[in-house]
Amino acid sequence: MVASKSPSGRATRGRFHHAANRGLRLDGSRAGLILVSPALVVVLLLLIIPIGEAFYYSMTNWNGITAHWVGPKTYVTVFSDPTFWRVLENNALMLIAVPATMFCGVVLAALLHVRVRGWRIFRGAIIIPTAVSWVVLGVVGHQAFAQKGLINGGLSAIGLGALRLDWLASPLGAIAAVGITFVYSLVGINTLIFVTGMSTIDPAIYEAARLDGARWGRTFFQLTLPLLQRYLLFAFVVTAISAFSAVFSLIYTMTGGGPNFGTTTIEFFIYQKAFGTGSFGEGALLGIVLFAILFGLTLIQFRLTRGET
Amino acid sequence: MSSNMRASTPLTTHTAAGGLRSVLLRPSRIVVFLALGLAAAALMYPFAFMILTSFRSKAQYLGGSGFAIVSWGILFHGVPVVREMFNSFLLCIASIFVILMIAAPAGFSLAKTSFPGKRLVFIGIVGSMLIPLQSYIIPEYVNFARVHLINTYLGAILVYVAIGTPFSVFLMTTYFRGIPDELVDAGLCDGLKHLGVFRRIAFPLATPAIATLIVLRFIPVWNDFLVGLLFLQEPANRPFTVGLGVLASSQLVNVPALMAGSLLSTIPAAITYVAFQRYLVAGLTLGSVQ
């Protein structure tokens, strides 16, 4: 949208340039600066300077009050710490939840798109979990996955008692529990994105497919999914970024990062390092690593979307 | 591709409300209905759990039968719920107000005026969207501690404003770009200055974008935990979510009271989500998919 609007915008501005006198144009320039300056000050003081500080402090042994310069070798120290790789592994495991969430979202969106009676009510029910805060999800999730919790109770009730598992007691079970809760939370927003995407598809295309005698499955895989490409990519980036940088409070209330670092993802690790053990420098460094990862993800999305147009 | 689709639209009548509808036969519609019902029930199940459990005493919860209102009383006596709810609302309203006051003018400036370095300013502000909170929260915390902003509403509000500004400026810029330049020119010809055009013409026209912005910012601030945990540590000024987190990690956890609190905390955000879905999607997909 931004790209498509700018040529016409430039043309109008050119016309305006001819018509208006010099005084007006200067006023526009000064007014523009005045209007943008509060936002600029906020971004500079509260985002750009702090991220610069984080970068500087990442190469020191900062404890929040004093900092001694150590140099880039702080990165070597962190990268050779097995716990760091353990934490990244947890992040990788969390990434499995991303396609799972998208899959559920596509399926639910396709079902909603049929527009059966009462579909709006179903849409509401599907979207509500997204509104629940991670704190509440963590609190409820902790109860649900406990040994005598909802999940195990449900398994027993449907005769699958053999599958009962003390989820939160083992690292793998705990990260699976966090992952399932993550899917639960983000399925709504994914569905909403795909519903929006599907509603942009012209019904005439489906009409044509029907006249050609195409079955539902074929229509879905050969028409709907390819036309949703951009929405799929967008949902992937939104969901993946959430998996990396939005589940702190879920982990805090559900597992506390354990057992044995089993659910400590990088964002939780940052908090632990800085505010748990007072290693502000190392926390800042991990923050820079997180920034780099998310920057890379966004860059991929940007490349893919621009490459198409 | 989209222009192709649009071109073909006038050739057919809009009989099919939903695309896949026409392809499906009647029995399959029943299957779809059942599948949706099942999914909705599964997604609603935790809410049923919260509601049922909150209306049980601790003993009834452990025993699995009976109902009582006692846990709601425990919640309100054990935690300053009213105070914390007030704090949460205050933080939401104040931070959204400040974001609006800086993002709307910035959006107008970036869309409708020209000044040296505008492109750089746009990239700087909007690009900051990519910086995750955890990457700058440590220096931010230390800086705020230096100027005694920890445990003040102002400190937390500033962090919420910092988190929300880049996207909000992007949203407002995109919206103002859609307003015809002729309107701005007309205002200028009528003797208004650019500031006047913004105040009298552009800002009133931006109501839909402002509504989107309010909805999109309300939920993350209402549901925030990390900022509250670090910047508002006292029971008197902490938001509701932090109170819940503290309640959950206390030694003697009262699950029914905790569920009552969880339910209470969810209601405002859930209502906002369901009532304003369309703003949500409009804002979320803005510029990223079109």
**What's B239's domain CATH number?**
1.10.3720.10
**How far is it, in rounded angstroms, from Cα A275 to Cα A283?**
9
Which architecture, in CATH terms, is A82-308?
Answer: Orthogonal Bundle (1.10)
Residues B233 and B212 in one domain: yes
Range of the domain at B277: 79-284
Q: Per the domain annotation, does B10 fall within a domain?
A: no
Q: Per the domain annotation, does B207 fall within a domain?
A: yes
Disruptive mutation site among A55, A120, A140, A306 for chain B (greatest number of B CBs within 10 Å): A140
What's the total number of domains in chain B? 2
Residues B84 and B61 in one domain: no
For the cut 50, the answer to whether the pLDDT of residue A78 exceeds it is yes
Q: Which of A214-218, A282-286, B49-53, B164-168 comes out lowest in average pLDDT?
A: A214-218
Q: Which residue of A has its CA nearest to B273?
A: A131
pTM: 0.84
- Considering only CA atoms, which of A168, A144, A145, A135 is closest in space to residue A249? A135
Using pLDDT thresholds of 50, 70 and 90, give the confidence band for residue A219: confident
Which residues does A169 contact at the CB level (< 8 Å), separation at least 6? Answer: A147, A259
**How far is it, in rounded angstroms, from Cα A217 to Cα A210?**
12
Q: Which residue of B has its CA nearest to A197?
A: B289
- Residues B281, A42: C-beta atoms closer than 8 Å: no
Disruptive mutation site among B43, B149, B241, B267 for chain A (greatest number of A CBs within 10 Å): B43
Q: Which of A53, A193, A290 sits opposite B285 (nearest CB)?
A: A193
Chain A contact set for B5 (CB, 8 A): 201-202, 204-205
Q: Per the domain annotation, does B102 fall within a domain?
A: yes
Q: Per the domain annotation, does B11 fall within a domain?
A: no
Write down the pLDDT at residue B21: 53
Disruptive mutation site among B99, B136, B272 for chain A (greatest number of A CBs within 10 Å): B136
Residues B200 and B150 in one domain: yes
**How far is it, in rounded angstroms, from Cα A238 to Cα B285?**
10
Q: Per the domain annotation, does B7 fall within a domain?
A: no
Residues B61 and B199 in one domain: no
Q: Per the domain annotation, does B134 fall within a domain?
A: yes
Q: Per the domain annotation, does B29 fall within a domain?
A: yes
- Residues B158, A249: C-beta atoms closer than 8 Å: no
Q: Which of A36, A130, A140 sits opposite B121 (nearest CB)?
A: A36
Write down the pLDDT at residue B215: 86
Write down the pLDDT at residue B30: 86
Q: Which residue of A has its CA nearest to B260?
A: A136
What tokens appear for B49 in the block?
């759990």
Residues B83 and B69 in one domain: no
Q: Per the domain annotation, does B68 fall within a domain?
A: yes
Residues B120 and B43 in one domain: no
**How far is it, in rounded angstroms, from Cα A143 to Cα B90?**
31
Q: A177 versus B23: which is more confidently predicted?
A: A177
Write down the pLDDT at residue A69: 87
- Residues A135, B139: C-beta atoms closer than 8 Å: no
Residues B108 and B134 in one domain: yes
Using pLDDT thresholds of 50, 70 and 90, give the confidence band for residue B8: very low
First to last CA, chain A: 11
Q: How confident is the model over A228-242, as a mean pLDDT? A: 87
Residues B259 and B189 in one domain: yes
Q: What is the pLDDT of residues B147-189, one digit of tens each?
A: 999 999 999 999 999 999 999 999 899 888 888 888 888 888 8
Chain A contact set for B287 (CB, 8 A): 1-2
Using pLDDT thresholds of 50, 70 and 90, give the confidence band for residue B80: confident
Residues B195 and B270 in one domain: yes
Residue B19 CA neighbour count, 13 Å, CB half: 24
Q: Which of A14-18, A302-306, B117-121 comes out lowest in average pLDDT?
A: A14-18
Q: At what angle do helices B240-249 and A134-145 cross, to 10 degrees?
A: 20
Domain-terminating residue out of B35, B58, B74: B74
For the cut 60, the answer to whether the pLDDT of residue A14 exceeds it is no
Domain-terminating residue out of B27, B50, B74: B74
Q: Which of A300-304, B2-6, B55-59 comes out lowest in average pLDDT?
A: B2-6
Residues B50 and B150 in one domain: no
Q: What is the pLDDT of residues B66-77, one digit of tens each?
A: 788 888 888 888
Q: What is the pLDDT of residues A258-307, one digit of tens each?
A: 787 888 889 999 998 888 888 898 999 999 999 999 888 888 877 877 65
For the cut 70, the answer to whether the pLDDT of residue B264 exceeds it is yes
Mean predicted lDDT score pLDDT of chain B: 83
Write down the pLDDT at residue A6: 39
Residue whose tokens read 């016409």: A8
For the cut 90, the answer to whether the pLDDT of residue B87 exceeds it is yes
What tokens appear for A255 in the block?
């597992």
Mean predicted lDDT score pLDDT of chain A: 82
Alpha-carbon dihedral sign for residues A68, A69, A70, A72:
positive
3-state helix, strand, coil in chain B (%, to 5): 80, 0, 20
